[in-house]
Chain A
Amino acid sequence: MKVRRPNLTLLKKIFLVDLIRGLFLTFSYQRPSLNYTEQYPKVRPKIAERFRGAPRLNNDPETGETLCIACNLCALACPEHCIEVGWERDAHGKKALTEYTFDISRCMFCGLCEDACPTPALELTQDFELGLYDRRDMKWDRQKLEEGNQPVVYTK
C-alpha cells in the first residue's frame, strides 16, 4: 500500500508547523461550551420522544380499575415470550385480568406488545433506569407493573 505523506516545505519542517497546528487544535477543544459529558444523576439526559423503556400497566384514571381486558394479544405478539397473562371468567363469561408477569430480563423493548394492545393498557414508558441487584427481581408482577418502575433517586 502506498502511504500518502503530506508535502512539507523545508520551512514548514524546520518550524514544526504541523505539530504546532495540532497543538492549537487540541487547545481550542478545551472550551467548556464544547463539553459533551452529562453529569448523569444530577443532570437528566434528554430522552427521545419515541424511546421505549420500562413497561407499565395503566389503570383507568377515573375508576382506578385496570384497562387491560386480558385478551392475551401482547403475550402472543411478544417474540421473546416474556409476557404471561392470567385471567378468569366472571359471571357474564367475560375475561377478567388476575395476574400479569413481565420478564424485563428477556424483554428487548421492541414495542410489539404495546402495538398489539387494543386498549391503552400496556405502555413502554420513557423510564430507562432498570438496574437491579437480583435477577429474580426482574420478573415484574402485576402490582409492580401498575405502580410503574420506581428507581432510586440519586441527588449527588
Chain B
Amino acid sequence: MDFAIDYILIPFIKIFIVFNVVAGVVALLTLAERKVAAWIQVRLGPMRVGPYGILQPLADGIKLMLKEDIVPAGADKWIFTLAPVISLVPAFIVFAVIPFGPADAFTIMGHKVGYVITDLNIGVLYVLSISSVSILGIILGGWASNSKYPLLGALRSAAQMVSYEVALGFSIIGVLILAGSLSLVKIVEAQKAAGYWYVFLQPLGFILFFACGIAETNRAPFDLPEAESELVAGFHTEYSGFRFSIYFIAEYASMIVVSCMAVTLFWGGWLRPFPNVHILDFLDAIPLAPLFWFAAKVVVFIYAYLWFRWTWPRYRYDQLMKVGWQWLLPLAMANVIVTAVLVLLLKG
C-alpha cells in the first residue's frame, strides 16, 4: 500500500499539477510574447478579450482548433503527423526532474512529499538528452512537409543543433564540478551549503549556457529554422491549425525548460536571494516561499527571452556557425579547464 502511494499516487498528483501549470504558463506565454513585443514597439498588444487581453490565449486556442487541418499532397503523412508530437512530448517530460522546491519539504501522513516529481541522480544528463529529442521533431516535420522552405528550416535546425549542443554540454560542466553531482536537487542543495549561487563563480558558464539554450529552443537571435523573413515560417510552413499550435506549445515549453535549468544550475533554484545571510531566514518560513522564488527567477528569464527576441536581429547562417564553433565552444572548454584547475588548487 505504501508503495502504491509513494510511487503511483503521489507522483501522479504531482504530474497532474505540473502538467497543468506548465500548460497554463505556456498559454500565458503566448500572450506575454505579444504583450512584450507590443510594449517594446510602443504599442499596447491584445486588449479586447478580457481585461487587458488576458483571455486572448483562450480565443487563440479556439481559433486554432477550428482551423482546417491541411496535409500537403506529397507529404509523408505519418511523419508529418508524428513530428509535432515528437517535438512536444520531450519538452513536457523534462519537467519530471526540475526541482521547484526542496525534495522533502513536508510530510503528509507519513509520506514525504517534495516540490519535485522525481529526483534522478542523473537529472542534468536526463534533461540534456531528452530536450535534444525535441529538435528531432523539428527536423522530421521539415523533412516530411515535402516543401522547400520547411526542408531548409530543418537543415538549418540540424546544423544548429550540432554546433550548439556541444557548447551547451560543456557550459554546464563547470557547475557539475562545483556541485559534484548530476542531480538537480543536489546541485541546488550544494549552492545552499556554499552560501552563494553558482552564477557568481560561473558567470561565463551561465552566459554560454543561456546563449546555447536560446539556440536550442530556436529563439531569436538564433531562430534560423523559423526565420519568418527568409523561409516563410521555416519548418512549420506547411503546418496549420492545431498541429501548428502543438509546435508552438513545444517551443514555449522548451523556453520554460531552459529558463528552469538556468535558474536551477546557476541562480540557486528555489533558494532566496542571499542564502548565506541569516538575518533573512524569516523569508523561508513563509509558506510556498521556495515556489515563489523559483517562479520569480524563471519569469525573469522568460522575460529575457522575449526581450532578446524583440531587440536583436537574427544571425546570418555563417555568423551562427562562427559564433558557435569559434567562440562559444572554445570559451566553454576554457571555462571547464579553468574551473577544474581552480577547484583542484583551492580545495586541494
Query: Using a CB–CB distance below 8 Å, which chain A residues touch chain B?
Result: 19, 22-23, 25-27, 29-30, 34-37, 39, 156
Contact = CB atoms under 8 A, between A and B. Distances in A.
A23 B44 contact: no
B307 A29 contact: no
B299 interface: no
Contacts, number: 33
A20 to B, nearest CB: 10
Contacts of A30: 36, 39-40
20 contacts: A19-B312, A22-B311, A23-B307, A23-B311, A25-B311, A26-B40, A26-B307, A26-B310, A26-B311, A27-B307, A29-B39, A29-B41, A29-B42, A30-B36, A34-B42, A35-B42, A35-B43, A36-B42, A39-B44, A156-B48
A19 B304 CA distance: 13
Contacts of B311: 22-23, 25-26
Interface in B38-66: 38-44, 47-48
Interface of B: 36, 38-44, 47-48, 307-308, 310-312
Of B38, B40, B47, B310, chain A has the most CB atoms within 10 Å of the CB of: B40
4 tightest A-B contacts by CB? A37-B44, A30-B39, A26-B311, A26-B40
B160 to A, nearest CB: 19
Of B38, B39, B307, B310, chain A has the most CB atoms within 10 Å of the CB of: B39
A29 B40 contact: yes
Nearest to B304: A23
Given A22-B312, A26-B307, A27-B307, A39 B42 contact: no
Nearest to A24: B311
A19 B307 CA distance: 12
A149 to B, nearest CB: 25
A39 B312 contact: no
Contact of B43 (A19, A23, A27, A37): A37
A43 B67 CA distance: 33
A35 to B, nearest CB: 6
A16 B259 CA distance: 21
B47 A39 contact: yes
Contacts of A22: 311-312
A29 B42 CA distance: 6
A140 B180 CA distance: 82
Nearest to B308: A23
Contact of A36 (B36, B40, B43): B43
Contacts of B36: 30
Contact of A35 (B44, B307, B310, B312): B44
Of B48, B307, B310, B311, chain A has the most CB atoms within 10 Å of the CB of: B311
A37 B48 CA distance: 13
